[in-house]
């Protein structure tokens, strides 16, 4: 790399232009690759009752052949895997992912039982109706490792997660530290700060019998679940306006019908939607209840062979870590950030607070979260690891950023072909 002083002088000394002081122009960066969607098929250790044919007349069958739905954005730079929170899906990360995709290769997934991934009801309980540990976060490690090895064989990646996804991320990092370049957690459920009342209430509903009569009772008790879901989501952000009626369609899937015009009955008579014909999917809500019921603080507190054998062995996580938190998170206390600094097996623990953000910081402030992630990656992996020169996405610009970027790309030998 040519590091001559006059090269940097030229790059950073362009004359200001008339547009100086304008809003940040993100189009100066390389374009994102086309967003792609797909599914990873794998064989799980246990069977579940899977529903097909919804909307319409649903049918169910037992299987251990499941799918994990994914979204990929970006084709160069460090590889990043993003895992969402609850009660959401991978759409939670879309805005951040679209920006990261200019500089990194990203894949976001729906965890098993959520979003567009398979919804196995009674998971692992076909022959034993009693609750079991199949929904513990450490079992999500299996399909995540298989997925990443299938899609990106032999490549290390940065694991990024928030909320419920952080439970998976902690267990994965402890089990497969050697597969990671870094670990990034935002507003993580951790230690004894979980569970929370909103999810506890959903989990208790798993005690309703799994019979036709039980499903009818479940549907009656959860008749206002769409309202409950919206209120939960709105309390998880600092600015509830980010969850408007249209954006909520994506995040309330697959529990609540999101087509406000049609009810998808397809009977030619009642196809036009009304308040009482928009559908709720009881099957998927029961899967959420099953997942919520079994999880406990013991699964997130540190591992102890005698007192907490199912906990996380945080000492095995030796890769650099970023622990981010929304400034106004009213669900999980931000003071938990400091606990990570003392239990992780690395001294390289960066703490970051996202201003004007709640528990779902990446929904409140997607560009600030992306900025925090990219600056961390640049620090721990080197500035040449990113697919393009990164000058930030906030503040007042001088107006010569496009020329500055072109000069810096030459200095750092970034191929112009990769910028298309």
pLDDT in tens, 330-365: 888 888 899 999 999 999 999 999 999 999 999 999
Q: Whole-angstrom Cα distance, residue 265 to residue 276?
A: 12
Place of tokens 């496009």: 402
CB neighbourhood size of 90 (10 A): 26
The reported pLDDT for the residue numbered 259 is: 76
Rounded distance between C-alpha atoms, residue 63 and residue 408, angstroms: 54
What phi and psi values does residue 322 have, to the nearest 5 degrees?
Answer: -115, 125
Average model confidence (pLDDT) across the chain: 89
Q: Which two tokens stand for residue 371?
A: 């900025």
Q: What is the dihedral of CA 276, 278, 282, 284, to 10 degrees?
A: -160
Question: Which of 326, 297, 302, 304 has the alpha carbon at shortest distance from 312?
Answer: 302
Q: Is the pLDDT of residue 268 over 60?
A: no
Reported as a pLDDT band with limits 50, 70 and 90, residue 265 is low
| 3-class secondary-structure state, position 104 | coil
| Res. 269: pLDDT tops 60 | no
| Higher pLDDT among residues 26 and 78, named by residue | 78
Residue 42: pLDDT over 80? yes
Q: What is the mean pLDDT of residues 260-267?
A: 66
Task: Report residue 400 as tokens.
Answer: 């010569």
Task: Provide CB contacts within 8 A for 316, sequence distance 6+.
Answer: 173, 174, 175, 177, 345
Q: What is the mean pLDDT of residues 210-237?
A: 90
- How far is 171 from 176, CA to CA, in rounded Å? 9
pLDDT higher than 70, residue 60: yes
**25 neighbors 401 (Cβ within 8 angstroms):** yes
Q: At 174, is the pLDDT very low, low, confident or very high (cuts 50, 70, 90)?
A: very high
Query: What pLDDT, in 10s, does the model give residues 312-324?
Result: 999 999 999 999 9
Task: Provide the sign of the torsion angle of the four alpha carbons 383, 343, 105, 236, taken in this order.
Answer: negative
The model's pLDDT over 123-164, given as tens digits with 9 standing for 90+, comes to 998 887 776 789 999 999 999 999 999 999 999 999 999 999
Measuring CA to CA, which residue among 200, 93, 172, 166 is closest to residue 337?
A: 166
Residue 132: what pLDDT?
74
Q: Is residue 370 within 8 Å of residue 96, measured between CB atoms? A: yes
The whole-number pLDDT of residue 418 equals 67
- DSSP letters for 9-47: HHHT-PPP-TTTTPPP-GGGSPPPPPPEEEEEEEEEEEE
Q: What is the C-alpha end-to-end distance of the chain, expressed in Å? A: 22
Q: What is the DSSP string of 301-320?
A: SBPBTTTBTTSB-GGG--S-
Domain locations along the chain: 30-219+283-387
DSSP state of 186: E
How sure is the predictor about 107, in pLDDT bands with cuts at 50, 70 and 90?
A: very high
Q: If you compute the radius of gyration of the chain from its CA atoms, what whole number of angstroms results?
A: 23
Whether residue 164 contacts residue 85, with contact meaning beta carbons closer than 8 Å, is answered with yes
The superfamily in CATH containing domain 30-219+283-387 is Alpha/Beta hydrolase fold, catalytic domain (3.40.50.1820)
Which residues have a Cβ under 8 Å from the Cβ of 263 and sit 6 or more positions away?
Answer: 257, 270, 271, 272, 273, 274, 277, 278, 279
**Position with higher pLDDT, 157 vs 230:** 157
Q: CB–CB of 215/349 below 8 Å?
A: no
């Amino acid at each position: 790399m040519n590091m001559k002083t006059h090269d940097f002088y030229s790059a950073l000394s362009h004359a200001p232009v008339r547009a100086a002081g304008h809003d940040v122009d993100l189009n100066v960066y390389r374009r994102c690759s086309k967003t792609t969607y797909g599914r990873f098929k794998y064989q799980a250790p246990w069977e579940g009752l899977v529903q097909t044919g919804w909307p319409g007349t649903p049918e169910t069958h037992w299987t251990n052949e499941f799918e994990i739905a994914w979204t990929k954005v970006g084709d160069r730079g460090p590889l990043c895997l993003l895992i969402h929170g609850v009660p959401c899906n991978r759409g939670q990360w879309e805005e951040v992912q679209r920006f990261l995709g200019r500089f990194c290769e990203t894949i976001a997934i729906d965890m098993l039982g959520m979003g567009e991934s398979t919804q196995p009801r009674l998971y692992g309980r076909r022959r034993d109706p009693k609750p079991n540990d199949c929904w513990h976060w450490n079992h999500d490690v299996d399909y995540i490792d298989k997925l990443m090895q299938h899609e990106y064989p032999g490549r290390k990646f940065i694991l990024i997660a928030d909320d419920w996804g952080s439970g998976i991320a902690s267990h994965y990092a402890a089990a497969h530290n050697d597969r990671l370049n870094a670990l990034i957690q935002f507003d993580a459920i951790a230690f004894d700060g979980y569970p929370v009342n909103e999810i506890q209430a959903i989990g208790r509903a798993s005690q309703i019998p799994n019979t036709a009569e039980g499903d009818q009772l479940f549907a009656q008790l959860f008749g206002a679940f769409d309202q409950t879901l919206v209120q939960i989501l709105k309390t998880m952000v600092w600015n509830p306006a980010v969850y408007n009626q249209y954006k909520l369609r994506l995040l309330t899937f697959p529990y609540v019908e999101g087509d406000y015009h049609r009810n998808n009955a397809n009977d030619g008579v009642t196809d036009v939607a009304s308040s009482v014909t928009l559908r709720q999917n009881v099957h998927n809500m029961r899967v959420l209840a099953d997942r919520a019921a079994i999880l406990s603080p013991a699964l997130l507190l540190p591992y102890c062979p005698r007192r907490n054998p199912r906990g996380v062995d945080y000492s095995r996580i030796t890769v650099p870590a970023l622990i981010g938190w929304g400034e106004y998170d009213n669900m999980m206390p931000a003071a938990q950030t400091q606990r990570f600094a003392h239990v992780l097996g690395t001294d390289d623990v960066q703490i970051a607070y996202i201003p004007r953000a709640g528990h779902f910081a990446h929904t409140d402030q997607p560009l600030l979260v992306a900025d925090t992630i990219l600056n961390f990656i640049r620090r721990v992996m080197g500035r040449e690891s990113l697919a393009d020169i990164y000058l930030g996405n906030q503040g007042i610009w001088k107006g010569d950023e496009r020329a500055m970027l072109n000069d810096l790309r030459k200095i750092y030998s970034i191929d112009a072909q990769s910028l298309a």
